[in-house]
């Protein structure tokens, strides 16, 4: 047993190595930690526990992290069925989610939270198993009482004073301590580079066309969208654009896309970006095949060779090809598919790679390193990108990519949204299909309050007007998303600068001892509500102030939990309640939305004017703006405006004033406060 002595590296951030030879994911991804942002935005906090230790057992390193028996844990990893993880045993490895939260997931980041206001991150690329507070050591100081099943109530749970984790090799252990779980997550995200700076167009409407489409099919599809007034921002091309996919050539199919440059620029003229699907397995038909071969592993996937993404040379070959063939002609980003598994679709665990790294390490970092490679390629051109990826790891907060999968359960997609905020990534509950018009609308609505509003018609060629009877509602839903652009852009600014996820599980904002202190809310008077919020996934926060309570298909009425504080109805502006459960009804055209008292929500009208919606009697807010597509904000080309309002006799008086940056507030024609 070795006690681990953690040293402070930023306000409330501590670290130690379990041995000399650490080779963590963060060092591979090489994002710059935003230490200053941690120190400037958050207060210091002491180590939340004493007595963390490690031991070597066989070829494994074990880390034992003390906990109080009453602590609640969330994570590690992206989950789809529940948020809290006490007593779980999680075998973390990058994989396509197979229906249970057992650790095999798209984002198996070894980072978990405690509602005592801290997070622990064990930085290793290897597979790692977590025992979330149910393992009782014989040398425990406070072992749980033995129970007797033959007498009275009995429980199989044996609460333990440790979370334990085991893995091969050594790791860097980090503790992110703060006043709340939210602060712990924010510090973790900032340490991983801060939240993604996504382009404005990324917050618009995405549509992925049928995989067999050629250039004319795509152009015709766009015409149809125009005729029906569905304002597109991004077209996604699926596997069929490649001359070969599964494995991939990364080259345009000459029959389908004879003049890719003309194709991409004709879309750009309409303000529509092109996003390209790819997987990471290289076809013999690819021009880069011979060049990349020496940097690939011993086993193929779908008969394609697998680049060792931990090697710079492999990444460079791909980045150069992508730049020349795609980025230079105006392609805006990628959907990096299939980098997650399943086992039978990936290389075996005994695959050898030229870097000498284990197959586990390559597998767990494939998605994040591919993202970083693409990010860097655009960064060099001073361009922001936004795309999709099916696997990620530590460092993903900074990556402008959303995770997605094929499970298509409404409920699980909703849970994914909440869970992503606990594990430092973005999740998109894309729309693909529906059994009923109602389901169709409800799915679009969930997407409006997510990092990406996307229809994915890759398999069925579906259009937004699939159900005539709700075509108008879907169109309005898309417009609603677009009107929220200034608010959502603010939320991503806060993600980048303060590490606060744009879409958040309720437990981040409203539960845990620390968060009560932070927000001035007191849950002690409403224990039922507190309990419910611990594992709530069916309502969540979007940006600073909006609480989203999606209606599920088939649901005419639902229960919502209003945390303590003042809440207002989005639509009527009327006071809705505080610290109580409500049974609500909501017509199909609306998403149940509640806004914090004092909030100012900037929205943009069709005519380009800015409307700031003000809730309660007085309050304040901000508006961040920049050019929306470059990194010029780093040189002061942005505007940060402070806003405030008071409401008297029903009339709102508002103020907006630029306080930082030498940029501009977009060409908003007029500003009004309501
Ligand atoms: C799936 C992916 C889909 C679609 C398809 C194309 O793996 O999740 O969204 O891209 O591949 O083959």
Q: What are the domain boundaries of the chain? A: 2-191, 200-460, 601-674
Instruction: Retrieve residue 56's tokens.
Output: 């070597």
Atom 10 of ligand 1, residue of closest alpha carbon:
238
Minimal CA–CA distance to 594: which of 455, 451, 449, 496? 449
Atom of ligand 1 at shortest range from CA of 338 = 7
Instruction: Retrieve residue 71's tokens.
Output: 């602590």
Phi then psi dihedrals of residue 287, to 5 deg: -65, -25
Atom of ligand 1 at shortest range from CA of 404 = 8
pLDDT of res. 667: 66
Mean pLDDT by 10 residues, the chain (674 residues): 96 97 95 98 96 96 94 95 94 97 98 95 98 94 88 88 97 96 97 98 98 98 98 98 98 98 98 98 98 98 98 98 98 98 96 98 98 98 98 98 97 96 98 98 98 98 98 98 98 98 93 41 43 76 97 93 91 92 94 97 94 97 96 95 94 93 76 90
Instruction: List helix spans (H) across 455-614.
Output: 471-483, 485-498, 506-510, 513-519, 527-534
Minimal CA–CA distance to 615: which of 576, 573, 643? 573
3.40.50.10740, 3.40.50.850, 2.60.40.1180, 3.40.50.720: CATH of 601-674 = 2.60.40.1180
Minimal CA–CA distance to 334: which of 378, 278, 372, 292? 278
What's the CATH number for 2-191? 2.60.40.1760
Atom 12 of ligand 1, residue of closest alpha carbon:
239
Atom of ligand 1 at shortest range from CA of 406 = 8
Q: How many CB atoms neighbour CB 402 within 10 A?
A: 27
Q: How many CB atoms neighbour CB 59 within 10 A?
A: 8
pLDDT of res. 155: 86
Atom of ligand 1 at shortest range from CA of 405 = 8
Cα–Cα distance, 351 to 584 (Å, whole number):
54
Domain 200-460 shares a fold with domain 601-674? no
Q: Is the CB of 430 under 6 A from ligand 1?
A: no
Q: Is the CB of 456 under 6 A from ligand 1?
A: yes
What's the CATH number for 200-460? 3.20.20.80
Q: Report the separation in Å between the CA atom of 25 and the middle of ligand 1, taken as the mean of its atom positions.
A: 26
Q: Report the separation in Å between the CA atom of 337 and the middle of ligand 1, taken as the mean of its atom positions.
A: 7
pTM of the predicted model, to two decimals?
Answer: 0.96
Tally helices (H) and strands (E) across the chain: 15, 35
| DSSP assignments along 149-211, one per residue | TTSS---S----SEEEEEEES--EEEEEE-SSHHHHHHHHHHHTT-S----GGGGSEEEEPPT
Rounded to the nearest angstrom, the gap between the alpha carbon of residue 553 and the centroid of all alpha carbons in its chain is 24
Burial of 133: CB neighbours in 10 Å, binned 0-12, 13-18, 19+ = buried
pLDDT of res. 511: 62
Phi then psi dihedrals of residue 309, to 5 deg: -70, -10
Residue of 277, 341, 391, 460 best suited for mutating to test ligand 1, as the one with most atoms within 8 Å of CB: 277
């Amino acid at each position: 047993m070795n006690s681990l002595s953690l040293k402070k590296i930023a306000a409330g951030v501590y670290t130690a190595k379990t041995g000399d030879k650490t080779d963590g994911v963060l060092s591979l991804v090489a994002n710059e930690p935003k230490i200053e942002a941690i120190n400037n935005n958050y207060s210091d906090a002491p180590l939340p526990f004493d007595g963390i230790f490690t031991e070597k057992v066989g070829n494994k390193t074990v880390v034992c992290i003390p906990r109080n028996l009453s602590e609640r844990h969330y994570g590690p990893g992206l989950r789809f069925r529940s948020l809290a993880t006490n007593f779980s045993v999680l075998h973390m490895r990058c994989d396509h989610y197979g229906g249970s939260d057992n650790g095999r997931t798209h984002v198996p980041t070894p980072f978990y939270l405690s509602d005592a206001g801290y997070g622990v991150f064990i930085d290793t690329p290897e597979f790692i198993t977590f025992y979330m507070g149910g393992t009782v050591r014989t040398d425990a100081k406070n072992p749980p009482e033995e129970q007797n099943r033959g007498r009275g109530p009995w429980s199989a749970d044996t609460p333990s004073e440790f979370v334990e984790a085991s893995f091969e090799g050594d790791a860097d252990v980090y503790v992110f301590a703060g006043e709340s779980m939210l602060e712990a997550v924010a510090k973790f995200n900032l340490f991983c580079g801060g939240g993604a700076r996504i382009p404005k167009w990324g917050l618009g409407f995405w549509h992925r066309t049928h995989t067999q489409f050629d250039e004319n099919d795509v152009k015709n599809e766009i015409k149809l969208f125009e005729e029906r007034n569905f304002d597109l921002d991004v077209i996604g091309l699926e596997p069929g654009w490649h001359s070969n996919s599964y494995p991939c050539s990364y080259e345009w199919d000459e029959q389908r896309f004879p003049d890719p440059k003309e194709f991409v620029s004709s879309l750009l003229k309409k303000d529509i970006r092109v996003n390209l699907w790819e997987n990471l397995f290289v076809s013999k038909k690819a021009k880069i095949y011979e060049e990349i071969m020496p940097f690939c592993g011993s086993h193929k996937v779908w008969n394609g060779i697998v680049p060792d993404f931990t090697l710079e040379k492999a990444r460079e070959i791909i980045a150069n090809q992508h730049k020349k063939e795609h980025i230079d002609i105006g392609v805006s980003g990628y959907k990096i598919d299939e980098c997650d598994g399943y086992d039978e679709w990936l290389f075996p665990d005994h695959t050898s790679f030229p870097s000498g790294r284990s197959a586990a390490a390559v597998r767990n970092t494939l998605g994040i390193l591919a993202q970083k490679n693409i990010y860097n390629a655009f960064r060099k051109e001073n361009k922001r990108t936004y795309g999709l990826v099916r696997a990620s790891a530590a460092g993903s907060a900074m990556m402008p990519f959303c995770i997605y999968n094929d499970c298509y359960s409404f409920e699980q997609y909703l849970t994914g949204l909440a869970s992503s905020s606990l594990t430092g990534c973005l999740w998109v509950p894309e729309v693909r299909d529906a059994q009923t018009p109602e389901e169709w609308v409800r799915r679009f609505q969930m997407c409006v309050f997510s990092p990406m509003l996307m229809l994915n018609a890759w398999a069925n060629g579906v259009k937004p007007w699939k159900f005539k009877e709700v075509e108008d509602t879907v169109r309005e839903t898309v417009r609603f998303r677009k009107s929220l652009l200034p608010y959502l852009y603010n939320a991503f600014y806060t993600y980048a600068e303060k590490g606060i996820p744009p879409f958040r599980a309720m437990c981040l904002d409203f539960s845990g001892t620390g968060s009560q202190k932070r927000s001035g809310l007191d849950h002690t008077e409403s224990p039922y509500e507190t309990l419910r919020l611990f594992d709530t996934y069916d309502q969540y926060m979007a940006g600073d102030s909006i609480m989203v309570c999606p209606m599920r298909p088939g649901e005419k009425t639902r229960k919502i939990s209003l945390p303590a504080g003042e809440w207002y109805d989005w639509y009527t502006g009327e006071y809705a309640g505080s610290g109580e459960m409500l049974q609500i009804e909501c017509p199909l055209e609306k998403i149940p939305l509640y806004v914090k008292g004092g909030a100012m929500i900037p929205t943009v009208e069709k005519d380009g004017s800015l409307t700031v919606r003000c809730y309660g009697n007085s309050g304040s807010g901000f508006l961040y703006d920049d050019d929306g597509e470059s990194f010029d904000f780093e040189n002061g080309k942005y505007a940060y405006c402070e806003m405030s309002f008071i409401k008297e006799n029903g009339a709102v008086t508002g103020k907006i004033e630029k306080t930082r940056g030498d940029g501009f507030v977009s060409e908003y024609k007029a500003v009004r406060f309501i």
